[in-house]
Amino acid sequence: MIAIQTEDVDIGKLINDAKQRGIGAIVVFDGIVRDDDIKEMELEAYQQVAAKELERISANAAKKFNLLSVDIIHRIGRLKVGDNILIIVVGAGHRKEAYEGSRYIIETIKAGVPIWKKELRENGDRWVPGEHQHGSGTGKPR
Protein backbone atom coordinates (compact mmCIF):
# COMPACT_ATOMS: atom_id res chain seq x y z
CA MET A 1 0.00 0.00 0.00
CA ILE A 2 1.26 3.42 -0.96
CA ALA A 3 -0.80 6.33 0.41
CA ILE A 4 -0.82 9.97 1.38
CA GLN A 5 -3.66 10.49 3.84
CA THR A 6 -4.98 12.40 6.81
CA GLU A 7 -6.13 9.29 8.69
CA ASP A 8 -3.91 7.45 11.13
CA VAL A 9 -2.43 4.09 10.22
CA ASP A 10 -3.12 0.64 11.67
CA ILE A 11 0.49 -0.51 11.84
CA GLY A 12 -0.48 -3.91 13.25
CA LYS A 13 -2.67 -4.62 10.22
CA LEU A 14 0.16 -3.68 7.84
CA ILE A 15 2.50 -6.07 9.66
CA ASN A 16 -0.06 -8.89 9.68
CA ASP A 17 -0.77 -8.37 5.97
CA ALA A 18 2.97 -8.52 5.21
CA LYS A 19 3.31 -11.77 7.19
CA GLN A 20 0.81 -13.41 4.83
CA ARG A 21 3.30 -13.04 1.95
CA GLY A 22 5.81 -15.67 3.11
CA ILE A 23 8.27 -13.12 4.43
CA GLY A 24 11.27 -13.93 6.66
CA ALA A 25 11.91 -10.43 7.99
CA ILE A 26 9.87 -7.28 8.47
CA VAL A 27 11.28 -3.85 9.33
CA VAL A 28 8.93 -1.10 10.51
CA PHE A 29 9.79 2.59 10.49
CA ASP A 30 7.37 4.85 12.38
CA GLY A 31 8.18 8.55 12.10
CA ILE A 32 6.41 10.38 14.93
CA VAL A 33 5.77 14.04 15.76
CA ARG A 34 8.27 14.65 18.54
CA ASP A 35 8.04 17.20 21.32
CA ASP A 36 10.44 19.91 20.19
CA ASP A 37 8.51 22.63 22.02
CA ILE A 38 5.80 22.60 19.35
CA LYS A 39 2.03 22.65 19.77
CA GLU A 40 1.28 20.82 16.53
CA MET A 41 2.70 20.12 13.12
CA GLU A 42 1.03 20.77 9.78
CA LEU A 43 2.05 18.70 6.77
CA GLU A 44 1.29 19.59 3.17
CA ALA A 45 2.03 17.67 -0.02
CA TYR A 46 1.93 18.12 -3.74
CA GLN A 47 -0.16 14.95 -3.68
CA GLN A 48 -0.12 13.87 -7.32
CA VAL A 49 3.65 14.21 -7.61
CA ALA A 50 4.33 12.86 -4.10
CA ALA A 51 2.23 9.73 -4.69
CA LYS A 52 4.04 9.00 -7.96
CA GLU A 53 7.39 9.51 -6.25
CA LEU A 54 6.45 7.13 -3.43
CA GLU A 55 5.39 4.52 -6.01
CA ARG A 56 8.70 4.97 -7.86
CA ILE A 57 10.71 4.72 -4.62
CA SER A 58 8.81 1.58 -3.62
CA ALA A 59 9.40 -0.10 -6.98
CA ASN A 60 13.10 0.83 -7.00
CA ALA A 61 13.59 -0.44 -3.45
CA ALA A 62 11.78 -3.70 -4.18
CA LYS A 63 13.99 -4.35 -7.19
CA LYS A 64 17.27 -3.21 -5.61
CA PHE A 65 16.85 -5.06 -2.29
CA ASN A 66 14.68 -8.04 -3.33
CA LEU A 67 11.80 -6.82 -1.18
CA LEU A 68 8.67 -8.94 -1.10
CA SER A 69 6.45 -6.29 0.47
CA VAL A 70 6.56 -2.49 0.72
CA ASP A 71 4.02 -0.23 2.44
CA ILE A 72 4.55 3.53 2.63
CA ILE A 73 1.92 5.73 4.26
CA HIS A 74 2.65 9.43 4.72
CA ARG A 75 0.18 11.52 6.66
CA ILE A 76 -0.74 15.10 5.89
CA GLY A 77 -2.84 17.65 7.73
CA ARG A 78 -2.54 18.86 11.30
CA LEU A 79 -0.88 16.42 13.70
CA LYS A 80 -0.20 16.50 17.45
CA VAL A 81 2.88 15.45 19.38
CA GLY A 82 2.94 11.64 19.43
CA ASP A 83 1.01 11.21 16.16
CA ASN A 84 2.38 9.02 13.37
CA ILE A 85 3.72 10.94 10.37
CA LEU A 86 5.33 8.32 8.14
CA ILE A 87 4.99 4.56 8.30
CA ILE A 88 7.20 2.27 6.23
CA VAL A 89 6.74 -1.50 6.49
CA VAL A 90 9.24 -3.51 4.47
CA GLY A 91 9.26 -7.28 4.11
CA ALA A 92 11.99 -9.44 2.63
CA GLY A 93 13.32 -12.96 2.77
CA HIS A 94 16.13 -11.92 5.10
CA ARG A 95 16.81 -9.15 7.63
CA LYS A 96 19.68 -7.56 5.67
CA GLU A 97 17.48 -6.78 2.66
CA ALA A 98 14.64 -5.57 4.88
CA TYR A 99 16.89 -3.19 6.85
CA GLU A 100 18.70 -1.88 3.79
CA GLY A 101 15.46 -1.47 1.85
CA SER A 102 13.82 0.45 4.68
CA ARG A 103 16.81 2.77 5.03
CA TYR A 104 16.92 3.40 1.29
CA ILE A 105 13.21 4.27 1.27
CA ILE A 106 13.34 6.79 4.14
CA GLU A 107 16.49 8.47 2.86
CA THR A 108 15.08 8.74 -0.68
CA ILE A 109 11.79 10.18 0.61
CA LYS A 110 13.65 12.79 2.68
CA ALA A 111 15.81 13.71 -0.32
CA GLY A 112 13.06 14.84 -2.61
CA VAL A 113 9.41 13.93 -2.19
CA PRO A 114 7.34 17.16 -2.18
CA ILE A 115 5.96 16.98 1.36
CA TRP A 116 6.51 19.91 3.72
CA LYS A 117 6.28 20.27 7.51
CA LYS A 118 5.37 23.41 9.40
CA GLU A 119 5.92 23.50 13.15
CA LEU A 120 3.22 25.40 15.04
CA ARG A 121 4.80 26.97 18.13
CA GLU A 122 3.75 29.35 20.88
CA ASN A 123 6.25 31.92 19.63
CA GLY A 124 5.42 31.55 15.93
CA ASP A 125 5.26 29.01 13.16
CA ARG A 126 8.17 27.84 11.02
CA TRP A 127 8.64 25.63 7.99
CA VAL A 128 11.08 22.81 8.73
CA PRO A 129 13.99 22.83 6.30
CA GLY A 130 14.60 19.45 4.69
CA GLU A 131 17.85 17.77 3.70
CA HIS A 132 17.38 18.99 0.13
CA GLN A 133 15.04 21.36 -1.62
CA HIS A 134 12.73 19.58 -4.04
CA GLY A 135 12.63 20.91 -7.57
CA SER A 136 8.85 21.14 -7.72
CA GLY A 137 8.85 24.90 -8.09
CA THR A 138 6.56 25.46 -5.11
CA GLY A 139 9.17 27.36 -3.18
CA LYS A 140 8.17 25.79 0.15
CA PRO A 141 10.96 24.48 2.32
CA ARG A 142 10.66 20.89 3.42
Within-domain flag for 131: no
Q: What is the structure's pLDDT at 128? A: 86
Residue 98 lies in domain = 2-121
Within-domain flag for 105: yes
Non-local (6+) Cβ contacts of 76 within 8 A are 4, 5, 6, 43, 44, 45, 47, 115
- DSSP strand pairing (67-75 vs 2-5): parallel
Determine the average pLDDT of the residues in 27-44: 94
* pLDDT surpassing 80 at residue 140: no
Q: Indicate which CATH number applies to the domain containing 96.
A: 3.90.1170.40
Q: Is the pTM here over 0.95, yes or no?
A: no
Within-domain flag for 126: no
pLDDT tens digit sequence for 51-71? 999 999 999 999 999 999 999
How many distinct structural domains can be found in the chain? 1
